[in-house]
Amino acid sequence: MRPLLIANWKMNPPSPREASGLARAICRGFRAHPRIDIIVAPPFPFITEVRSIFGKSASLAAQDVAPFSSGAYTGAVSAPMLKHLGVRAVIIGHSERRRFYGETDEVIHQKIKMALGAGLRPILAIGEDLPDSHDVVPQVLRDQLTRALVGIPKKKLSHLIVAYEPVWAIGSGKADTPDNATRRAIYIRKLLTKMLSNRIADRIPILYGGSVTSKNAASFLVDDIRGMDGLLVGGASLKAEEFLSIARLISRR
Ligand code: PGA
């Protein structure tokens, strides 16, 4: 599987001009990294412009989707609307959505169904809250994964992407250790194999996210065993040079 690199811009940058500038700077550098797949998730209002800048060099993702298909849901954006914009994937279950918008596993489950129904790839984010809760991590990951995916036809889930993002590592400057991340990737794949099948689980990229920088990026992708298949990058994706360094490092793996 080619390494997958996802940029989550969150609520940045502040203006369309800066968003286009960032997209252009990243896009120029990407042409040099044909051996990895890139997905960029800008805020909704910048999607069309950013998509036209990247063209075929990167896929576009949304950072959220409504748990309903259409109707009177003020402020919401549906999966079919995203599909019409040319969006290919959508981040679902990010800890910032869980925390600041009170999203439950049930809402996340509905969003995954909506995304799949519209032909979008769900990027499901899961992870534990606290750094010292090692013994409860397997349980947290199992619960979040099963509640998000319960009852969804297995075949549809071959388009899933899973991002392991320990909440304590997000934006904190304290990334998880590569050894832990590898252990989590193996565990998540084991869960997916049990829930789906070996063949389907094998096709699902599992990514690490949480304070990834050019200093630690390469260490999360190991050679000798199948661990993480890529990275989900927040803060460091807002600096073109830094993001391009990460791309360069993982395209050499
Ligand atoms: P970070 O964010 O890279 O800034 O820690 C990652 C994420 O929230 O997806």
What are 172-211's pLDDT values in tens digits? 999 999 999 999 999 999 999 999 999 999 999 999 999 9
Active-site annotation holds for 94: yes
What predicted TM-score, i.e. pTM, was given to this entire model? 0.97
Among residues 94, 96, 128, 242, the one annotated as catalytic is: 94
What are 128-142's pLDDT values in tens digits? 998 877 789 999 999
**Per-residue DSSP letter, 175:** P
C-alpha 184/C-alpha 153 separation (Å) is: 24
What are 44-60's pLDDT values in tens digits? 999 999 999 999 889 99
Ligand 1 atom nearest to CA at 95: 8
What is the number of other CB atoms lying within 10 angstroms of the CB of residue 223? 7
> What confidence score (pLDDT) does residue 30 get?
81
Query: Ligand 1 centroid to 169 CA: how many Å?
Result: 8
Tell the residue nearest (CA) to atom 2 of ligand 1.
Answer: 234
Among residues 96, 103, 128, 165, the one annotated as catalytic is: 165
Q: 102, exposed or middle or buried, with CB in 10 Å at 0-12, 13-18, 19+?
A: exposed
82 and 118 Cβ atoms separated by less than 8 Å: yes
Q: What SS3 string covers 39-108?
A: EEECCHHHHHHHHHHHCCCCEEEECCCCCCCCCCCCCCCCHHHHHHCCCCEEEECCHHHHHHCCCCHHHH
144 lines ligand 1 (CB under 6 A): no
For the chain, residues with pLDDT lower than 70 are: 32-33, 253
C-alpha 216/C-alpha 177 separation (Å) is: 9
Query: Ligand 1 centroid to 235 CA: how many Å?
Result: 6
Tell the residue nearest (CA) to atom 7 of ligand 1.
Answer: 234
> What confidence score (pLDDT) does residue 32 get?
67
Q: Which of 91, 212, 231 has most ligand 1 atoms within 8 Å of its beta carbon, as the pocket-test mutant? A: 212
List the structure tokens of 178.
Answer: 């590569």
Q: Which of 63, 232, 239, 242 has most ligand 1 atoms within 8 Å of its beta carbon, as the pocket-test mutant? A: 232
8 lines ligand 1 (CB under 6 A): yes
